[in-house]
Structure 1
């Protein structure tokens, strides 16, 4: 995409975001727009492959009839819809972008820093731009307690932001390295509806099922759009649409379970703690699986982008 950016002030907040011309025109016309995060590109995929996946995601959204809006902060400016050159910056290892959650946006904008946006950061900026549908890979959640402890205070900001931001997040659940039952409880506390797309059990990112039931099942984009419209009439909270990884891309469960045990053992015997635990575990998955987890990650986020686009088209009707 090579459109000229425009400045726009979102109706929901006073914070300015810069929209690409393509995104601004689509929003003005009431057409379907799908937000895409940038952390998966800068921090989740290796150089080279990340740029390929960025292009594949945007092309997937367009083929489904919507306009892609990849979101990032560059030089202190929140961008909604990136040019080719901006996407290349996000994917370049030389940029060494910060990872920006919702809490980090203000300081980053004020100091002129650049960063890739997480699920929380992307949700906030997408809503500020007037975008109601967002596709990602996995949602953050409640972390498992450290070894020897029974509780944890490590809870992703994604959950709190979704509880107060009226946006539909399409993902493949959350990674199995998180406490999925506790995460679902937190979403319930935040009055966030959780829908399972074509399934009765909540997905676990690399795996199609976590064994946990989903509160509500939907079997088509029109059902999702109907639920979202009704929800928006009385609640400021967002909605989560859990879309399981395509069957052909699902990781072998035995391999998955072995990598999880190995990764947890490595982390337990190291100085890794806090927010560094999840990246360390994911790195173990990527390296020890011989690339299987990277392939799975790509296929699930592409599938989510397609589904989000179909729902966005229904909402725009």
Structure 2
């Protein structure tokens, strides 16, 4: 099999010990060097503090890896030419012997293939603004509609059309639950101003929903656990609204479209909030990773 599962991750899965999948795009493309490697190591340490095994995922020389050692993490963080891989990119990357960091969709797929049930990330992709014109929708949604994995996230990126994304997830049959909240979080913000139908308040409750998915023999769809960034660590909502409006105007003025929209808007937010959006992003990721470790432990205990 082309999939390479690290010895530590394989032993944990075989022993039914908790494992948390982590994406690698944040390492290769989301943060500047050397901070990217520092954050990668920090997030793995957070998983271990919860008693779980981290499984950072990437493709190296055409081999998808579930679980990286320190040398491999350093390679993803420092090597020039590391591609950004969604799940559609995996076959050509494997065939070409390419190396790449995995996005949410590729990470979720490879984690599920390896038998990892819990995945922590920052924010999901979703339906883009002006969808009726562009038909631009993240591949995350379709992949999560057919992949049995629990994704702990801070909602969807606030640059997206949040209500349209929630409607799309409902249409696709993907379960969404707020963690300790009846409001859908807004990535940089604790509250997107949109409600969720279900609220879960403990890792044990999340694990119970996961077991119910299996007991009901439900279609192979994901469970999204939307965990808000703490209010004291969120981006100031007024600043967010003002800079995002400016970013959207700048994006239109410069003719940015397709896959270029999200990185343009996120970079604009970082630059025009003096890095505050990045700090909120990292605070959300840390909280999600911590919660994912606890959920994985509750799942393994069952």
> How does the TM-score come out when normalised to structure 2?
0.97
1:293 equivalent to 2:288? Answer no
Inter-partner Cα distance in structure 1 for 2:101 and 2:266: 18
The equivalent of 1:310 in structure 2 is 294
The equivalent of 1:52 in structure 2 is 38
The equivalent of 2:234 in structure 1 is 250
Inter-partner Cα distance in structure 2 for 1:17 and 1:33: 17
Give 1:1-317 correspondences, 5 Å limit.
9=1, 16-92=2-78, 94-145=79-130, 150-233=132-215, 234-235=217-218, 236-317=220-301
Inter-partner Cα distance in structure 2 for 1:133 and 1:181: 25
> How does the TM-score come out when normalised to structure 1?
0.92
Report the count of equivalent residues.
Answer: 299
Summarize deviations over 1:27-55 as a string: whole Å, max 9, x none: 11010000000011111111111111101
Structure 1: gaps spanning 5 or more residues: 1-8, 10-15
Deviation >6 Å, runs of 4+: none
Give secondary structure in 2 for the equivalent of 1:78.
strand
Give secondary structure in 2 for the equivalent of 1:72.
strand
Shift of 1:271: 2.4
Structure 2: gaps spanning 5 or more residues: none
Q: Which structure features the higher share of helix residues?
A: 2
Inter-partner Cα distance in structure 2 for 1:73 and 1:230: 32
Q: CA RMSD in A?
A: 1.0
